[in-house]
Structure 1
């Protein structure tokens, strides 16, 4: 996880975690990867760049997402059930393709926070802000060892605050 350097990971800032916080994060944070599947922050990997629609060579047109979906779906469900059964989904939308999302949603309590900016009276997703908020919320959850989703209501970041908790968890600037 420490090898990643995108905006989400800059705001997560795992390098500033104490040893105890890193060990906790290693048990509770899943990092989606088209190449490696699901990673933990302390897993060692080589730098790479890969999209999910890349086809595996000599495998009849099977894409990375096709390959990973049946493996990762069961693994994720089992891992989250062994913890508390609640998945706070802060992955980018493209990463959902790594899982059978209908099955994940039916077997786990899934919370997918949204981060929007008010532009002329309309709430819109601005990708860079959403990435920053996803990283900052991941950091907040791990540093505070949040296990109660109701405590996510107190999360704020750079002006973003909770404005709607039902039917979705919506934060806006």
Structure 2
């Protein structure tokens, strides 16, 4: 299976890095196209476009102005180690062995507003650009139109390389929407994580995000390839619930 994750807003460029292997994002030329548009924006433009504070707008304007291709190696960090949101607390990429990271490089992809699609060891510069941002560009009115079918095409290529039978979608709706469904040549499995709250099982967003990362790490460590194997997932105390599951939406309960 090929796992898809969303990126995170929170970044870590300070912690020690275990792996020295660093690859170049496959769609870096397209990222450079976006960077040209982003460099035109003032801090005020960025604040309005992204709905962020003046401080964050100034920081990201500086980041966009400094962005260049080829990217200075000394300033980049591997994507799976740079992102530090809830999903990545579950993934714990820093605990993966060299061989597990090598496996992840073939079986895990991170969707990105700026980079399109990233392998775990792709070096990236600090940035903030959510996929849902309505940034006008030469290809259309927003990032969905900018990326078009390219993300699905790359995913198809990798599915062929690894012989994977389906996509394990652990990304958010905002990001998975960027993968053109008509182009994608694979079945999609989107796990659902529910916690018992006041006697009922409900999706608790913060827990579900971490569980997506935990499942991704579990799949990598187990080298899981089938739905039958995926049903054995027991990370973070979740368990597969056959009664409420479907083929495309397996449900995992906790509590």
TM-score (norm 2): 0.62
For residues 61 and 75 of structure 1, do their structure 2 counterparts lie closer, same or farther at Cα, with a shift above 3 Å needed? closer
Q: Once the 2 structures are TM-superposed, how far is the Cα of residue 109 of structure 1 from its aligned partner?
A: 2.1
Structure 1 residue aligned with 2:72: none
2:208 to 99, 112, 130: 130
CA contact (8 A) 1:55 1:61 kept: no
Written as runs of structure 1 = structure 2, the 5 A alignment for 1:1-173 is: 1-56=80-135, 59=138, 62-83=141-162, 84-104=164-184, 107-164=185-242, 165-167=245-247, 168-173=249-254
Tell me, in whole angstroms, the C-alpha distance in 2 between the residues paired with 1:11 and 1:45: 21
User: What secondary structure sits across from 1:80 in the alignment?
Assistant: helix
Q: Once the 2 structures are TM-superposed, how far is the Cα of residue 87 of structure 1 from its aligned partner?
A: 0.9
For residues 58 and 67 of structure 1, do their structure 2 counterparts lie closer, same or farther at Cα, with a shift above 3 Å needed? closer
User: Gaps spanning 5+ residues in structure 2: where?
Assistant: 1-79
Structure number with larger C-alpha Rg: 2
User: What secondary structure sits across from 2:235 in the alignment?
Assistant: coil
Q: Once the 2 structures are TM-superposed, how far is the Cα of residue 57 of structure 1 from its aligned partner?
A: 5.0
Tell me, in whole angstroms, the C-alpha distance in 1 between the residues paired with 2:251 and 2:139: 41
**CA offset digits 1:122-167 (Å, max 9, x no partner):** 4321111111110100000001111122111111123211112434
TM-score (norm 1): 0.89
For residues 58 and 20 of structure 1, do their structure 2 counterparts lie closer, same or farther at Cα, with a shift above 3 Å needed? closer
Structure 1 residue aligned with 2:77: none
Tell me, in whole angstroms, the C-alpha distance in 1 between the residues paired with 2:108 and 2:218: 12
**CA offset digits 1:74-128 (Å, max 9, x no partner):** 1212221332231111111211121112442xx2122111101233444321111
Count of residue pairs the alignment pairs up:
171
What do you get for the CA RMSD once the two structures are aligned? 1.8
Tell me, in whole angstroms, the C-alpha distance in 1 between the residues paired with 2:222 and 2:121: 19
Tell me, in whole angstroms, the C-alpha distance in 1 between the residues paired with 2:198 and 2:181: 33
